Amino acid sequence: MTQPIFMVGARGAGKTTVGSELAKALGYKFVDTDLYLLRTSGLSVADIVDREGWEGFRRRETEALKAVCSPLTVVATGGGAVLAQENRDFMREAGTVIYLRSPASTLANRLEDAPQEDQRPTLTGRPITEEMMQVLNEREALYQEAAHHVVDGTQDPALVVNSVMDALALPVAR
């Protein structure tokens, strides 16, 4: 299998952390769409949102997803990449999509420890636990729809990597 592997899930799900470790384990290249945008434009997510609004960021994110897609690559997407049907279809057709799933409380705890506000400006203006509950309510079905495999993301990163490797050995769902 040489197709790219796309990591999807909410903020704090571990897409960047687990995706990078997974790439090492597989001998794949690793790329993160948010870091790609930062590297290629010199702008953080917060900078882009300040200048162009979330709409502008989402447009750039779709372009980034296509630009980074290549064989033997693990792609960590941003938490909102699944919002666009175009992105969901693209990822499912181009590669294997893994949804790293954790409850809102776990995500909120991780984000409280490592907010990275320049890359994660508030989505709702609400406190973080409420925000993550709202985000999962709005997006859970989209993560599920995009994913070939849903993996429990609550364990330590090394164990999550093992679970992803196990899932990749399975036949692709749908």
Ligand X SMILES: Nc1ncnc2c1ncn2[C@@H]1O[C@H](COP(=O)(O)OP(=O)(O)O)[C@@H](O)[C@H]1O
Ligand Y SMILES: O=C(O)C1=C[C@@H](OP(=O)(O)O)[C@@H](O)[C@H](O)C1
Binding residue numbers for substrate: 34, 58, 79, 139
Q: Which two tokens stand for residue 150?
A: 């849903």
Please, which residue, 8 or 167, has the CB nearer to Mg ion?
8
**Torsion angle, alpha carbons of 93, 98, 102, 104, to 10:** -30
Shortest approach of Mg ion to residue 171 CB, angstroms?
28
Stretch that binds ligand X, among 14-22, 54-62, 67-75, 127-135 (CB under 6 A): 14-22
Residue given tokens 């870091």 in the structure block: 35
Please identify the residue of the shown chain whose CB is closest to the bound ligand Y: 78
CB–CB of 29/72 below 8 Å? Answer: yes
Q: Under the criterion CB under 6 A, does residue 80 sit at the interface with ligand X?
A: no
Q: Under the criterion CB under 6 A, does residue 14 sit at the interface with ligand Y?
A: no
**Torsion angle, alpha carbons of 90, 95, 96, 102, to 10:** -50
| H helical segments located in 27-171 | 33-41, 45-68, 85-94, 104-113, 128-146, 157-168
Nearest CA to 4 out of 94, 100, 98, 99 is that of 94
Please, which residue, 21 or 34, has the CB nearer to ligand Y?
34
Stretch that binds ligand Y, among 65-73, 76-84, 94-102, 160-168 (CB under 6 A): 76-84
Q: Under the criterion CB under 6 A, does residue 11 sit at the interface with ligand X?
A: yes
Which positions lie near ligand Y, rule CB under 6 A?
Answer: 11, 15-16, 34, 45, 78-80, 119-120, 123
